[in-house]
Amino acid sequence: MDCGNLLESSTLRQDLEEYEQLHKAAKRPRVQEHLLKEIDRVRREVLSLESKKANKPAVEGFDQTKQYMELYLSLDNLSEISDGDIEANFTNRSVTVKVHYPNKICQLQIARLCEDIVPEDSYCKKKSKHVVVYLKKTEVGKTWATLTEREKKAKEKKD
C-alpha cells in the first residue's frame, strides 16, 4: 500500500467515526437510515483498502438465495490466474479461500459463520472482477441477518 492509500484509509476511518457520532445524535428515522447506509459504504471502503494492504481479499458484499449465501470477494488482477489457482476449504461453520497469484497468495478466512453450511455443496467461482463464494445453507430458506457469529452476537446485543 502506498502512502496515498494509507492517508486515504486514515481519513476514511475518521469519516467513519464522525458518521457514527452523527448517527448516535440523529433523532429522525430517515436521517438515521441515510447515515447507516453511508456508514456501511465507508466501512466497506475502509475494509477494501486495508485488505489490499494485507493481501486479503475484501468481501465487497454478500447476497443470498433460499439455498446459498453468496460472498463477493474483490481482488485485483484476476486475469492473471486460472480457476485452478483458487483453493477453498469449507467446514460446517467456516470458510477459507486462497487465491494463488504468481508472486503472492491472498487469503480470506472466516472462522465462525453465523449459521451452518453444507461443506460438500459449497464452492467458489471466478468472475471477471470478483471471486464468488457460494455457501450452501443447511437450513434452506432461512435468511441470514449477518455473515459471522461475532456480527450476529453484536446485533443480538443491540436488539
Give per-residue pLDDT as tens, 108-157.
889 899 999 999 999 999 998 889 999 999 999 999 988 888 888 888 88
- Return d(Cα 97, Cα 87) in angstroms, integer: 6
Q: Does 147 lie in the same domain as 82?
A: yes
Mean pLDDT of the chain: 85
Query: What is the CATH number for 138?
Result: 2.60.40.790
Q: Do 89 and 112 lie in a common domain?
A: yes
Q: Are residues 37 and 90 in the same domain?
A: no
Consecutive H or E run containing 60: strand 58-64
The alpha carbon torsion through 18, 24, 29, 35 (nearest 10 deg) reads: 20
Span of 5-9, 44-48, 104-108, 120-124 with lowest mean pLDDT? 5-9
End-to-end CA distance of the chain: 38
- Per-residue pLDDT at 52 exceeds 80: no
C-alpha cell at 24: 448516535
pLDDT band (50, 70, 90) for residue 105: confident
Say if residue 95 is exposed, middle or buried (CB neighbours under 10 Å; 0-12, 13-18, 19+). buried
Domain end marker among 54, 72, 89: 54
Residues 11 and 38 in one domain: yes
User: How many CB atoms are located within 10 Å of the residue 139 CB?
Assistant: 11
Number of domains composing the chain: 2
Same domain, 149 and 83: yes
Given 26, 54, 82, which residue is the final one in a domain?
A: 54
Which residues lie closer than 8 Å to 36 by C-beta, 6 or more apart?
23
Final residue of a structural domain among 14, 37, 54: 54
Say if pTM beats, i.e. exceeds, 0.85. no
Residues 82 and 113 in one domain: yes
Assess whether 108 and 152 both reside in one domain.
Answer: yes
Q: Are 62 and 109 in a shared domain?
A: yes
Backbone angles phi and psi of 114, in degrees to 5? -75, -20
